[in-house]
Structure 1
Amino acid sequence: MIKVEFLGPIGKSPIEIEADTLADVSVKLKEDETIAPWLSKCAVAVNDTMVNDRNFELKDGDRVSILPPVCGG
């Protein structure tokens, strides 16, 4: 089981899903119409490490963080 957390203004509580790769996570998250619009804009971290590879393999207990862009000054 993988824990997915949504940071910043996404406003969604963490969920737990079955997934082998980040691509699997993406497919499952696109099914949720409140999350889908954010996905193309967000960065992703696995266990607090930024990851760009959708084929990144996940292990049971991993934490995937969906990080929306932030405006700052």
Structure 2
Amino acid sequence: MIKVEFLGPIGLNPIELNIKTINELSESLKQISAMDQWIGISAIAINNKIVTQSEGYILYDGDVVSILPPVCGG
């Protein structure tokens, strides 16, 4: 199982999923209606490291995936 945490204004409680790839993560997140506005614009971190080339990335039991919404500021 992996833990998925949603940071900042996404405002969802962490969940645990039994998945192995980022593609499976994306499909699982599409089932959560509150994620509609965040899918496609949020960054993904795996074990506190931003993953830029996430296609095909393999997840392992105990991994923590963080969904990071875009940041605005001035």
Amino acid at match of 1:48: N
State the partner residue of 2:71: 70
SS in 1 for 2:33: coil
Name stretches of at least 5 consecutive residues in structure 1 with no aligned partner.
none
State the partner residue of 1:46: 46
State the partner residue of 1:7: 7
Q: CA deviation at 1:37?
A: 2.0
Partner deviation per Cα, 1:18-37 (whole Å, 9 max, x = no partner): 11011110100001111132
Amino acid at match of 2:11: G
State the partner residue of 1:57: 58
Q: Distance in 1 between matches of 2:62 and 2:33?
A: 25
CA RMSD of aligned residues (A): 0.8
Alignment map for 1:8-47 (pairs within 5 Å): 8-47=8-47
Name stretches of at least 5 consecutive residues in structure 2 with no aligned partner.
none
Q: Distance in 1 between matches of 2:27 and 2:39?
A: 10
Calculate the TM-score normalised by the size of structure 1.
0.94
